Amino acid sequence: MNASEVGAALKRRQLLSLLALTGMAGCGTSPTPSGTPVSTPSPAVTERLGSALTTTAAPPSAAPPSASPFPSPSATGKPGVMLGSYLALGGRTLRQSLALRRSQLDREQRIVHRFYPWDGYVPTGEPDVARSSLLMVSWHGAPWGGILDGGSDATIRSVARKLKAMNRPILLRWGWEMNGDWFDWSGAANGRNPADYVRVWRRLREIFADQGATNVSWIWSPNWNSSPAEPWNQVQRYYPGDDHVDWVGISGYNFYGESPSTLFGPVTRRYGGRKPIILSETAAVQDKARYIKRLHTWVADTPAVRAVVWFDTDIQEGTDHDFRFDTDPSALAAYRAMARDPHFNA
């Protein structure tokens, strides 16, 4: 997937956000895991959906892979939230971008987010990422059939060995936003059978375990709302099971004024009692200072959320959005206040 395709996905998500607010598509104003449109978010909606679905549609699995280096709700053993970002600033290298943010926030990024292709170049190290930072890797997915038939095993083993050789803790986010219809690893593009996604996920984890990549923790990361909003595409149908997930991530942007509660509340309520939650992609595209302040408050009031990763770029091909938090003084001040809050310095 190239940068243009990523931009197209963002455009598609923007459209879904608008349709969700109008009740025409997505998951409605309340992005409930069932994909059922409702007018307002409420715990009662989630309760009607029942407890978090175990993947009974998937085949029984062998013993779970080796333990994650982050098995507890706090990845660091400290209370609070880790704050980081995906950084791609126009005219700057990653090192220069990190230096700019360090000067603005008086701190390192606790998490640095990078994107790696499925079967293209995967580096053997990230020298610009401080050792005090966690590396979060979004590893592109692929059509499921070529994984389930064993044809991709060599690729998977190669990536596992490279990530192991980095000799640092890594948060791995594979095949994200599978409940959308904009990537070729989505349910919509793979026979509308989420149970196969679960099989793929478990296969990947087993191969990583076989390669001894015990420095890798796995983030299962759906989009905040589903497209299409049909019963087969309910977000919980993609869940690989508690033994196979270390973190639950959520992607959500305020394309049309959605609140953090609307974007992140339903998935957090469903899984936050069992897994640490990471807001793996978020940013504001309008009224940035207000969104950042609301995000700051909502996360601080939601103990299940243990990490926030801002999508910090102004050069995303295929979209005209500027996701940087320093586009105006009020937004920068709001983000700086969040970054300097001791609760966000885990």
- Residues marked as catalytic: 177, 281
In terms of phi and psi (left: phi > 0; alpha: psi -120 to 50; beta: otherwise), the region of 338 is: alpha
- What's the rounded Cα separation, in Å, for the pair 40 and 286? 21
Q: Give helix 194-210 / helix 153-165 axis angle, nearest 10°.
A: 50
191: left (phi over 0), alpha (psi -120 to 50) or beta: left
What is the phi/psi pair of residue 144, to 5°? -70, -35
CA distance 320 to 92: 19
Q: Which of 120, 205, 116, 190 is nearest to 155 (CA)?
A: 120
Query: Tokens 């299962």 label which residue?
Result: 220
CA quadruple 317, 24, 190, 268: dihedral sign = positive
d(CA 242, CA 131): 29
Question: What secondary structure does DSSP assign to 186-214, as a single string?
Answer: SSTTTTT-HHHHHHHHHHHHHHHHHTT-T
Report CA 301 to chain centroid distance, whole Å: 20
Neighbours of 135 (CB within 10 A): 22
Classify 220 as helix, strand or coil: strand
Q: Residue 251: how many CB atoms within 10 A of its CB?
A: 26
Decide: residue 255, CB within 10 A, 0-12 exposed, 13-18 middle, 19+ buried: buried
What distances in angstroms separate CA 175 from CA 12, 68, 106, 183, 223, one per listed residue? 17, 19, 33, 9, 11
